[in-house]
Amino acid sequence: MSTKVPVALFAFRRADLLARTLAGLRANRVPLIHAYSDGERDAADAGDVAEVRRMLRSIDWADVRLVERPVNLGLNRSLAKGIAETLAEHGEIVVCEDDIEMAAGSYDYLLAALDRYGNEPRVMCVNSWTHARVTPADAHDAPHFTGRCGGWGWATWRRAWDGFAALSTAELRERCAARGIDISKYGNDVADWVTQDAKEVPWDMAFGLYMMLHDGLTLMPPRTMTAHIGYGDVRASHVMDGAGWEDRPEPPPPLDSIRWPPVRENPGAAELWRRAMNAPPRPSLMRRIRRRLATLLNPRT
């Protein structure tokens, strides 16, 4: 088994965003990449998929194992299959999608967290992304734990992932119900997604249910080291409006200065997630500008 911790990188057809993702990984001096390129859905995707694969083949600053899927698996199946394949060879993994930009130092931070909590079964995920809206007031200078799954620039262990793929979303939901687990603890979005057809449930929502079944925790940093650069992109599997969730990533502090928390959930974390996820969506910047202009041009008398 290699001592290198691989980055499992998932890409489909967005070469422009992938270029920024790769630049971030290069700045982090990532030594090993398992790249999974999903296949085209139809002829319209062929050119974009080909450009993504050309870009992945041209990486010369890291060892690369490139898997070019002959068919389109979709994000959920591509990610679940790729993570399982990578963890079959490695005990630890960093996961990155083609719309994630990691600040320099993020990879080393994730490795340090993997090492620190590797023997803690409740810790199932470590994340390099966060946001002020979901950061407790007493956690602005050190990492903290939440029971919400973190999925943007994150890392995990084989021990945490084993068993997840064997359960459907319906089975996960039923097991949570049988144990009296409130799947809305971290926001109604989880319950809204898992009541739909299982094929449409994002992988992180399903893994979040798996974490709940195991009383699992995610380590969150005090400030984000990762930017989600795909907000509003109609090419994404799940189009998201980033209004109110703008990212301002910064490098982590020196690793020897980090105060790693004990393995228990921050008491304020769940409530912050509920408020953030259940709140009405904030109007986009363009809509706010238009609204302001309308007020200035048509003042009430």
One-letter amino acid for residue 158 of the chain: R
State mean pLDDT over 207-221: 96
- 150 contacts 129 by C-beta, under 8 angstroms: yes
Using the predicted structure, report yes or no on whether residue 284 has a pLDDT greater than 80.
no
Q: In the prediction, which pLDDT does 2 show? A: 44
CA distance 196 to 218: 25
How does residue 191 score in pLDDT terms, banded at 50, 70 and 90? confident
State mean pLDDT over 129-141: 92
How does residue 291 score in pLDDT terms, banded at 50, 70 and 90? low
* Burial of 96 from C-beta contacts in 10 A (0-12 / 13-18 / 19+): buried
* Each residue's pLDDT tens digit, 14-39: 999 999 999 999 999 999 999 999 99
Q: Which residues contact 279 (CB under 8 A, 6 or more apart)?
A: none
- Residues for the chain: how many in total? 301
Q: 81-95, 97-111, 221-235, 284-298: lowest mean pLDDT where?
A: 284-298
Strands 92-97 and 63-68: unpaired
Using the predicted structure, report yes or no on whether residue 300 has a pLDDT greater than 70.
no
CA distance 217 to 144: 10
Comparing CA positions, the residue from 146, 142, 101, 150 lying closest to residue 122 is 146
Q: In the prediction, which pLDDT does 195 show? A: 73
Task: Output the pTM of the full model.
Answer: 0.87
Count of beta carbons in the 10 Å neighbourhood of residue 205: 22
CATH class in words for 7-297: alpha beta
Using the predicted structure, report yes or no on whether residue 156 has a pLDDT greater than 60.
yes
Count of beta carbons in the 10 Å neighbourhood of residue 216: 19
How does residue 179 score in pLDDT terms, banded at 50, 70 and 90? very high
pLDDT higher for 248 or 255?
255
CA distance 89 to 249: 31
